[in-house]
Amino acid sequence: MNVLTAIAGQFSPRYETRSAGAVVVIDVAGLDRLIGPPPVLAQELAAEAFGRGVTVHVAIARTQTAAVLLASARPGTTVAIEQDAAAAVAALPIATLGKLEARSQKFLLLTLHRWGLKTIGDVARLPAADFISRFGPAGRIWHALACGEDFGPLVPDRLEERFEASLDLDWPIEEIEPLAFVFTRLLEPLSLRLEARDRGVARLHTELRLVTKERHARCLELPAPMRDARTLRTLVVLDLESHPPAAAVDRVSITIDPTPGRIVQHALFTRPHPTPEQLATLVARLGAVMGQDRIGAPAAVDSYRPDDFAMRPFAIDHDQRRGRGERREDVEGKRSAGSALNVVAALRRFRRPIPARVAVERARPVRVTTDRAEIRGGVVRASAGPWRSSGHWWADEAGGAGRWDRDEWDVALADGAVYRVFQDRHTDRWFIEAIAD
């Protein structure tokens, strides 16, 4: 970042660098309410540059092109906000156009001088169609510049701002609790900078340099953008309690991957949900107590195994989750409109299949009994099946996690209960997997 961009950043976040950093165009819309009218703003820009030991030419006009032409031709400060762009630059010499558009500069300037044209206004008064047919694409650009027109919107520079902080400790720290004070000291100024830039934390990288010269690095993936220093400190401490360093720490470094701030629109007639900061802290505390692999939300996986699932991180963004299903009032509206909702039987799966004894006659189950008091069993009145399924047959016998090979049956007993039972073909044992509700 050079001096000009640093000065521009003090006044507005919307600025564009041109001509290899020699020209900076600033969007001053709305700055009159913060700094003052255009003449005051121009003086403040010049004073800021003078304080940094830089001499600049400042011009404020209705278009970017007019402002750059005026700043290139007139020293000091120029304010032409009351005039339209073409009138503001009409009196400038033609050579000023060459500072903005260098292509075909020598040929065009020579030709225009031969025509007896002296100022930019002389070029603007020429018929545009004839001028473009004479000079081609370069003529179109030069004629538009002479009229003070912009070829495109201002494209603000997007500087990569790094949010990082580090601290060398006077004495090595072995416990996690004293490190919490160090994290607070580092995260509070970072949180203020994030708030000033309307940014949140997407990832938080923590690096601890140990007295053994090794480095202990951790990365937190946050479920929602947040910038509260206390919440971030709690999450870092809980993560380190689950993954403590191997030796004492003599240097702490924190690096933040920023993301745009979170905009929350609360509903008027629904109860407010817990904040993402509260939920993230709760999930981190559960992970520290139970282990990260034992918490989460179940999710279906691409498998033919009936009870196969995976644990996914809890979703914190309530808006995304709310949009996945129908609203309650929509469902009620459908009912009132007369559209029948199909009610079907649902299988209530047992978390662990219940061992059972199944009598088989003519390759079909005829009686089911168990040792569970709530599952009485009885004579099979009707049955459907078998449905054979298997998978992961290539898994090793010793540690064949996920391997299955079974025949499934749906059986209706004499007492009216309907069960889904299956026979493990590998062990010849029977289980009750689910009951129909």
Domain of 185, CATH number, reads 3.30.1490.100
For residue 273, is it within any domain?
Answer: no
What are the Cα distances from residue 136, in Å, to 57, 128, 131, 281? 32, 11, 8, 64
Contact 209, 254 (CB under 8 A): no
Residue given tokens 């540690």 in the structure block: 399
8 and 142 share one domain: yes
- Verify that 86 and 217 share a domain, yes or no: no
How far is it, in rounded angstroms, from Cα 388 to Cα 423?
10
Residues 12 and 134 in one domain: yes
One domain, residues 140 and 167:
no
User: What does the alpha-carbon distance between residue 232 and residue 201 come to, in Å, rounded to a whole number?
Assistant: 9
How close are the terminal C-alpha atoms of the chain, in Å? 68
In which domain, by residue range, is 389 found? 347-436
For residue 417, tell me if it sits in a domain. yes
Spatial distance between the Cα atoms of 298 and 313, rounded to a whole number of angstroms: 9
Q: What is the pLDDT of residue 271?
A: 74
Same domain, 121 and 167: no
Hey, what's the torsion of the CAs at 132, 137, 139, 145, to 10 degrees?
120
399 domain residue, yes or no:
yes
Residues 167 and 114 grouped into a single domain: no
- The residue type found at 8 is A
93 shares its domain with 63:
yes
Residue type, 100: L
Half-sphere exposure of 309 (CA within 13 A, CB side): 9
What's the confidence (pLDDT) of residue 331? 39
42 domain residue, yes or no? yes
If you search the block for the tokens 């290539």, which residue do you land on?
Answer: 394
User: Do both 130 and 170 map to the same domain?
Assistant: no
Assigned domain for 317 exists:
no
Residues β-bridged to residue 410: 384, 420
Structure-block tokens of residue 396: 């090793």
Same domain? 17 vs 140: yes
Do 120 and 206 belong to one domain? no
Residues 103 and 195 in one domain: no
The predicted structure's pLDDT at residue 60: 92
* Residue-by-residue pLDDT tens, the chain, 437 positions: 588 888 888 888 888 888 777 888 998 888 888 888 999 999 999 999 898 888 899 999 999 989 999 998 888 899 988 888 889 888 988 888 776 665 556 777 888 888 888 888 888 898 989 888 888 888 888 888 888 888 788 888 776 678 889 999 888 998 888 899 999 999 999 998 888 778 888 889 999 999 999 999 999 888 778 888 888 898 898 888 888 899 999 999 999 988 887 666 667 777 777 677 677 777 777 777 777 777 778 888 777 777 777 887 766 554 444 434 444 444 344 444 444 445 556 778 887 888 999 898 888 998 988 888 778 788 889 988 888 888 877 765 544 556 788 889 999 988 888 888 899 888 889 998 888 87
Q: Report how many domains make up the chain.
A: 3
Q: Is 284 contained in some domain?
A: no
The answer to whether residues 187 and 242 belong to one domain is: yes
Asked whether residue 82 is assigned to any structural domain, the reply reads yes
In a domain, 229, yes or no: yes
Phi then psi dihedrals of residue 386, to 5 deg: -85, 155
